[in-house]
Amino acid sequence: MDPTLIALASAGGTAVVSAMATDGWNTLRSGVVTLWQQFRPNSAGELERELETTRSTLLAAPASEVEQVRQALQSAWQGRMLTLFLEDPVAASEFEALLSRLGEAGSPRTNTSFHAEVRDHGRVYQAGGNQFISER
């Protein structure tokens, strides 16, 4: 068995379940359904229902059980992904591209601009992130 496909299926199952409680859920769900429509058109409708059932299960889990439920659901989706990828490695490439696009879309790109004017022995400390200053 190809370790690359196993790793991608693992990442895929984790991504699907992790996204269920985020704003990115609809985008990822749509991408997974589209993937299934392309490679397993006869089961795409069933998959869409399973995604919604899985999400409902995760969101309804008691706080004390969320992590166990999450792990179980991730394992189930990892298995589904691996089965698809083993049947058609092109599906793995398509899914990898989907994850890449979603990662790029989810990465905030911000521009930081600073301007400061200092007079009479003043000091300015500017940073685009954390800054630790120790003066003695």
**Within a domain: residue 78?**
yes
Residue 116: inside a domain: no
Residue in 1, 39, 32, 37 with CA at minimum distance from that of residue 18: 32
Domain that holds residue 85: 3-106
Burial of 24 by CB count in 10 Å (0-12 exposed, 13-18 middle, 19+ buried)? middle
- Helix residue ranges, H only, the chain: 3-19, 25-39, 44-60, 66-87, 89-106
pLDDT value, residue 85? 93
Determine, yes or no, domain membership for 120: no
Distance CA 27, CA 133 (A): 42
In a domain, 79, yes or no: yes
pLDDT in tens, 37-53: 999 999 999 999 999 99
Q: Which residues contact 75 (CB under 8 A, 6 or more apart)?
A: 13
DSSP-derived letter for residue 117 is -
pTM as predicted: 0.71
Q: Which amino acid is at 85?
A: F
Establish if 42 belongs to a structural domain: yes
Output the pLDDT for position 104. Answer: 62
Low-confidence ranges of the chain (pLDDT < 50): 107-109
CA 29 centroid distance within chain: 11
Q: How many domains does the chain have?
A: 1
Residue 67 counted as domain residue: yes
Report yes or no on 125 lying in a domain. Answer: no
- Quote the pLDDT of residue 108: 47
